[in-house]
Structure 1
Amino acid sequence: MNGIRKGTLYTIQISEEWTGLTVENILSAKWRLPKKMIHAWRMEKAVLQDGKAADWRRPMKKNERLSFPFFQPGPFGAEPVYPAPAILYEDDHMLVADKPPGMKTHPNSPDEKDTLLNGVCYHVSLAGETLPVRHVHRLDEGTSGAVLFAKHEAAYAVLSRLLEQKEIFRTYYALADGKVAKKSGTITKPIGKDRYHSSRRRISSNGQTAVTHFKRIAVQNGKSLLECRLETGRTHQIRVHLSSIGHPIAGDTLYGGSRAFKRPMLHAAKLTIPHPFVNDCVTISAPAPAEIKMLLHSTFFE
């Protein structure tokens, strides 16, 4: 179901597939927006049908137009601060930014202003927008690659749900120490906090379920390049899981990795997102760092 933006409104034309649905059906069953948001829009008569307040209980006819108040101005998720990051994908509802290593995804205190979210908000502000831009997920400070941001509250609600329900696929490249024996495999070890180290995580029988799928792509100079796909999104998941099988990420000294690099060689390479408002699946790739790109194009493929 594609639509167009005009000002603060997002307007769709009812397709044959959605003929017979009510406004309530679309918001609750199709987009599954939060009840609080739906209730507010109903009370405010904010959803329009051909420019007039919509009848929420009337089944819609094909080609009728509905407008939703998606793009209400609101405070940015962080103070807009120059420079803007590289933007890998953007539309009216979401954007994907390329996070460089050594940068935090978002501020943890008011005085932090050099994070990816600050730069993304600056990018959006250049178009004269003031929208509640928020990160849908995050990457560790040392990890590079694709990060998804929502540009309005409805998008944030839907994208967060899709992530939680494992419908957004995240693919990473990890350069691990040693030769990983298996060409592919799945690590299903629960992860919990390390009681002796506040910033570490560990394998724990009482931890949260964590599932990482991996495929060995190349081996060179005592290192294995792995493609990893997350089924869950626990803190430090790939780092903890690879360390647990004896192949920590190179440069990840927190989890026993070698000092071959100044940061963990982990890269968020690809996001695959079933776009909730465009009726399509969007795949966005982030350019790999030079050290990983070299292996991707090497002759040491397995």
Structure 2
Amino acid sequence: MIQTKCFGEWLEIIIPSKWEGHSINDLFRDVWQAPKKQIHTIRMEKHVKINGEVINWNKPLKAGDRIQLKLFIEEEFGVIPAYHEVDVLYEDEHMMVFNKPANMDTHPNSPEQTNTLANAAAFYLQAKGEQRKIKHVHRLDRDTTGAILFAKHSLAGTILDKMLEERSIKRTYAALVHGRINKKKGTIQEPIGRDRHHPTRRRVSASGLPAITHYELLEYSLMQDFSLIHCQLDTGRTHQIRVHLSSIGHPIVGDQLYGGEPLFERQALHARKLVIPHPFTDERIVVEDSLPLPFQHLLKK
């Protein structure tokens, strides 16, 4: 684990032995993989110090050196703060995970929209006296509930975006599907593209983008003929889980767009768990939510 501490606007990191010999430039370019424009801005504004001093960015670092990064700067939120009742599942100085309710978009589609999770996140930070330009790292469909990761400053956003792209961040979803899934574990590997006959629907298509969904059977309700499963994604296509499960004959309960019966007020899909390598400390952050009560009630009917 890499040692860090925060003071005011600055984050201090004790250089670990694995970074010895790297320069500041190496850290931003190779370790954190920040874009050139972001690196240039940080460099020009002198937002990096080593042992309290501004030094040459190409000078090799030594284990035990202290690098200070000016990260916690007041910025416009980027959205209008608006109060909504949402649960915080995890938070530190760099990121936070919210439990998104049903019937809520992840972010606004127009500047004046205020009924999204991003608006709620901005209000939450404003109430704490933190004015940050927050950024969602991934999204959920409007009717899907559960854990969504936000970055609280731009460098954390850059690192977390890259982790998501490289699949270092693991996402687990709980779903109630029709029928009994016979295999305890399985993988659906079918490309997904747009449905030419419907404005929002996707479908398995040979000309679509590659998509991989892993699933595991947790429980089967004989009375309801429902299977409770966990899904993990290797890709993040729109409606991926919904399309893939429908394609194998097990649509999600309530997901009428993809063949589910209207036995639930929405698709019974919940983002239950996130495993996140911490962007600065290398800790393995595990954020897990319990199975929603409506799912439990539906299984027990």
Same fold (TM over 0.5): yes
Q: 1:170 corresponds to which letter in structure 2?
A: R
Partner Cα distance (1:18, 1:128) in 2: 34
Identify the match of residue 231 of structure 1 among 234, 238, 242: 234
Q: Indicate the RMSD between aligned Cα atoms, in angstroms.
A: 1.5
Q: Using the alignment, how far apart are the partners of 1:186 and 1:99 within structure 2?
A: 27
> After the TM superposition, which of the residue ranges 195-204 and 234-243 deviates more from structure 2?
195-204
Hey, what does 1:110 align to over in structure 2?
111
Question: Partner of 1:244 in structure 2?
Answer: 247
Between 1:272-281 and 1:76-85, the stretch displaced more is 76-85
Letter in 1 for 2:265: K
Contact 2:81–2:123 (CA under 8 A) maintained in structure 1: yes
User: Is the aligned partner of 1:254 residue 2:257?
Assistant: yes
Residues 143, 265 of structure 1: 8 Å contact kept: yes
Shift of 1:45: 2.5
Alignment of 1:81-100 (within 5 A): 81-100=82-101
Letter of the aligned partner of 1:41 in structure 2? I
Contact 2:163–2:169 (8 Å) recurs in 1: yes
Aligned to 1:79: 80
1:56 is aligned to 57
Written as runs of structure 1 = structure 2, the 5 A alignment for 1:188-199 is: 188-199=189-200
- Structure 2 residue matching 1:17: 3-state secondary structure: helix
- C-alpha deviation, 1:294, in angstroms: 5.2
Q: Say if 1:146 and 1:270, in contact at 8 Å, map to a contact too.
A: yes
1:167 counterpart letter in structure 2: S
1:140, CA displacement in angstroms?
Answer: 0.6
1:1-302 alignment, distance < 5 Å: 1-220=2-221, 221-293=224-296
Poorly superposed stretches of 4+, deviation over 6 Å: none
Which residue identity is paired with 2:54? Answer: A
**Displacement of 1:295:** 7.7
TM-score (norm 1): 0.94
Q: Name whichever of 219-228 and 54-63 sits farther off.
A: 54-63
* Partners of 1:84 and 1:120 within 8 A in 2: no
Helix, strand or coil for the counterpart of 2:197? Answer: coil
Contact 2:97 2:147 in 1 (8 A): yes
C-alpha distance in 1 between matches for 2:3 and 2:211? 35
Structure 1 unaligned blocks of 5 or more: none
Assess, with a 3 A threshold, how the Cα gap between structure 1 residues 57 and 111 changes in structure 2: closer, same or farther. Answer: closer
* CA distance in 1 between partners of 2:129 and 2:37 (Å): 28
Tell me, yes or no, if the aligned pair for 2:147 and 2:273 is still in contact at 8 Å.
Answer: yes
* Separation in 1, partners of 2:230, 2:29: 37
8 Å Cα contact 1:80-1:118 kept in structure 2? yes
Q: Normalised by the size of structure 2, how large is the TM-score?
A: 0.94
Deviation readout 1:210-246 (Å, 9 max, x if unpaired): 0000011111111111111111111100000001111
Which amino acid letter does the alignment assign opposite residue 23 of structure 1?
A: I
Q: Gapped runs of 5+ residues in structure 2?
A: none
Deviation at residue 143 of structure 1 after TM alignment: 0.6
For the residue of structure 2 that corresponds to 1:240, the secondary structure is helix
Compare 236-245 and 196-205 and name the one that shifted more: 196-205
Letter of the 2:101 partner, please give it: P
Give the deviation of 1:162 after TM superposition.
Answer: 0.6
1:152-208 Cα deviation digits (max 9, x unpaired): 001111101110111111000110011122221100010111122111111111111
Give, in whole Å, the separation in 2 of the partners of 1:58 and 1:295: 61
1:289 and 1:250 map into 2 onto residues whose CA distance is 14
Partner SS, residue 81 of structure 1: coil
Distance (whole Å) between structure 2 residues aligned to residue 223 and residue 140 of structure 1: 22
Q: Contact 2:93–2:152 (CA<8 Å) still a contact in 1?
A: yes
Q: How many residues align?
A: 297
Contact 1:225/1:295, CA 8 A, preserved across alignment: no
Supply the AA of the counterpart residue of 2:245.
L
